[in-house]
Structure 1
Amino acid sequence: MIVLGGTFVLDLAVAVQAFGRRPSVFAKIRDEPEPPYEIGVCGLAPTPTSLGFTMSDLKPVDWITGADTVVVPGLEAPWAPQDRAVLDAVARAADDGARLVSLCAGAFVLGQAGVLGGRRVTTHWALADEFRAAFPEAVLVEHALYVDDGQVLSSGGMLASADLCLYVLSQDHGQSYANDVSRVLVSPPHRAGGQAQYARPGPRPSGPLSPVLDWLDEHLAEPLTLTGVAAQAHMSPRTLERRFRDETGDSLAAWIARRRVDRARALLEDSRLTVTQVAHAAGFGSTEAMRRHFHTYAGTTPRTYRETFRGAAPGRHFQ
């Protein structure tokens, strides 16, 4: 495991807990006194972490030479250039056939090491634009919780690190073993859906079409057609569609569907409307239409989304 300046302590802790020495409570589940791997935490000491304290008891970076697996946790400023010694060590490990595991923004380090050419990879959803710009040779799977591309495995943001670590354990030691580790973590060995359900909509583009976008937001609950919106914008349908794609990157229909899903997400989180009422309030017209678009843009169902993000009522305890 490689610790760099600004390393996310949570990512590192998850990896050490998943792959390192087992806590004593593990003996209640499985008789295994020895850890499943020999692990070492490497870096250029002293190294400040994301929480402000410094790690100094680190093995030298070249300790990863000959390692079977190299884990790169996320870090605070992943776009910052990394030390050449670190990147060269990662590249040599890749050439030697080591399995490379990036957690959260650790994918940026693999990109800087030049080992992602043609690889499918993911990272934190909020860093997708920066990652694409920095590493166009990689194939970003933006909303996946984790991606297995053979030699390179990567996870999305923060707690998706646990999903990937449990997946690695299942590949190395079997699903039953990974399930037992998940029982210690009190975390599911596999979560449905992806990062899309956690992503927040980005800022709306500002440009010549802003008045049209404002009008659309005010009328999302109403039936909207290309012809009707074009008339409102005083353009031909063809001109509107072309300018819409140029300014937003989406077709008019896709943009409307995304905004309706965004509105439905807000209503599912904050209102007491039923799912059917939310579908109509967001402009879908039916629960089936909302469910279809919700799965496309949020990666889950409206009911599952509400159960995940609505939270428990005050004073309520689940058993």
Structure 2
Amino acid sequence: MGRHRVAVLVLGGTFVLDLAVAVQAFGRRPSVFAKIRDEPETPYEIGVCGQAPTPTSLGFTIADLKPLDWIAGADTVVVPGLEAPWAPQDPAVLAAVTRAAADGARLVSLCAGAFVLGQAGVLDGRRVTTHWALADEFRAAFPATELVEHAMYVDDGQVLSSGGMLAAADLCLYVLGQDHGQSYANDVSRVLVSPPHRTGGQAVYARPRPRPAGPLAPVLDWLDEHLAEPLSVGAVAAQAHMSPRTLERRFREETGDSLAAWLARRRVERARVLLEDSRLTVTQVAHAAGFGSTESMRRHFHTHTGTTPSVYRETFRGGAP
């Protein structure tokens, strides 16, 4: 039997970083790899496929591409992200992906590449992820697919998917571990000088969504100005000139959250800003954001971001090299 065949699909506007990660993970090893592992050649046969010449997201084109029919018989098909993932793809491209799936190929989408798999009709009933900023567009386009919005990557059996661009490395290392053992993936990660597994998910990188501009906007503005204070349903209802029951109903209709859930999310967002931009201690941040205690902030912070306030600050502020 030949080596495991990996077809990497290049489409118009393909993200160069996604493409490079896939080729580096499955293609020819750099010479420095010999210092870590005795491997004369990669265990994969890799082909970069598409309809040449194809423009990339950075403006230059790729002309040295294998034809689409090289995908036939591939054991794994990798679809990197692309600049305009919602744009309709060439039927010939989608047909090649659909045939590969029907033949049992493993499908790996990187970042926005999940949109291509969705257009090929191979995601219905599956769990996938994509870049956190594309969550609304993905749900609207593929309602029969379960989007795991903040996952770094998702393994749903035949289909594996990753979030934003650098999460492509996380998923490719995971695939290497599944194919050849964790020790092998760890050695590739040593070449990349990247952790073989990152804790947390995309939520820690996601920016807050814009607030709805509905009838509750004045109340939401007032809440933002008083986040550091204790805010009971009764107190907020009095400020809004509503009964507590009406306030809760209106809150769910307009924001999708209960008042308590909305306050917790906004306080986490406030804490994130303070952790990034201020010199306040974690305890001072907890009180300034309205949590009342560091334990309360830590609990809500982990729920919404998948990490702790201290780790978040270290990640987004860093330190002297």
Which amino acid in structure 2 is aligned with residue 4 of structure 1?
Answer: L
Instruction: Say which of 161, 165, 176 aligns to 1:158.
Output: 165
Query: 2:123, 2:152 → 1: CA distance?
Result: 18
Pairwise CA RMSD: 0.5
Amino acid in structure 1 at the alignment position of 2:62: M
Q: Which residue of 2 aligns with 1:81?
A: 88
Which residue number in structure 2 is paired with residue 6 of structure 1?
A: 13
**What is the rounded CA distance, in whole Å, between the counterparts of 1:57 and 1:51 in structure 2?**
17
Distance (whole Å) between structure 2 residues aligned to residue 131 and residue 102 of structure 1 = 13
Shift of 1:203: 1.1
Which residue of structure 1 aligns with residue 32 of structure 2? Answer: 25
Residue 228 of structure 1 corresponds to 235
SS in 2 for 1:154: strand
TM-score, normalization: structure 1? 0.98
Query: Structure 2: how far apart are the matches of 1:245 and 1:284?
Result: 22
1:69 corresponds in structure 2 to 76
Q: 3-state DSSP class of the match of 1:41?
A: strand
Deviation at 1:131, TM superposition (A): 0.3
Which residue does 1:206 correspond to in 2? Answer: 213
Counterpart position of 1:197: 204
- The alignment status of 1:177 with 2:184, answered yes or no, reads yes
Deviations 1:83-141 (A, max 9, x none): 00000100000000000000000000000000001100000000000000000000000
Matched, 1:36 2:43: yes
Show the counterpart of 1:278: 285
Note the alpha carbon deviations across 1:295-319, whole angstroms, 9 max, x for none.
111111111101100122xxx32xx
- Corresponding position: 1:147 with 2:154: yes
1:40 match: secondary structure = strand
* Aligned counterpart for 2:134 among listed residues 127, 134, 139: 127
Show the counterpart of 1:54: 61
**1:294 corresponds to which of 290, 301, 310:** 301
Aligned positions of 1:238-257 closer than 5 A: 238-257=245-264
Q: Does 1:265 align with 2:281?
A: no
Aligned pair partner of 1:112 in 101, 119, 125: 119
| AA of the residue aligned to 1:122 | T
Task: Calculate the TM-score normalised by the size of structure 2.
Answer: 0.97
Letter in 2 for 1:22: R
Aligned-partner residue type, residue 131 of structure 1 = F
- Alpha-carbon deviation of 1:262? 0.3
Q: Say yes or no: does 1:303 pair with 2:310.
A: yes
List gaps (5 residues or longer) in structure 2.
1-7
2: distance between equivalents of 1:192 and 1:117? 28
Letter matched to residue 187 of structure 1: S
Give the unaligned 5+ runs of structure 1.
none
> Which whole-Å CA distance do the structure 2 matches of 1:81 and 1:249 have between them?
31
Please give the alpha-carbon distance, in whole angstroms, between the structure 1 residues aligned to 2:87 and 2:257. Answer: 31
Q: 1:100 aligns with which of 104, 107, 112?
A: 107
Spell out, residue by residue over 1:20-50, the C-alpha distance to the aligned partner (whole angstroms, 9 max, x if none): 0000000000011111200000001111000
Deviates more, 1:55-64 or 1:213-222: 55-64
Q: Determine the C-alpha separation between the residues in 2 that align with 1:276 and 1:75.
A: 42
Whole-angstrom distance in 2 between the partners of 1:225 and 1:77 = 44
Alpha-carbon shift at residue 62 of structure 1 (Å): 1.5
Q: Describe the SS at the equivalent of 1:38.
A: strand
Over 2 Å off, 4+ runs: none
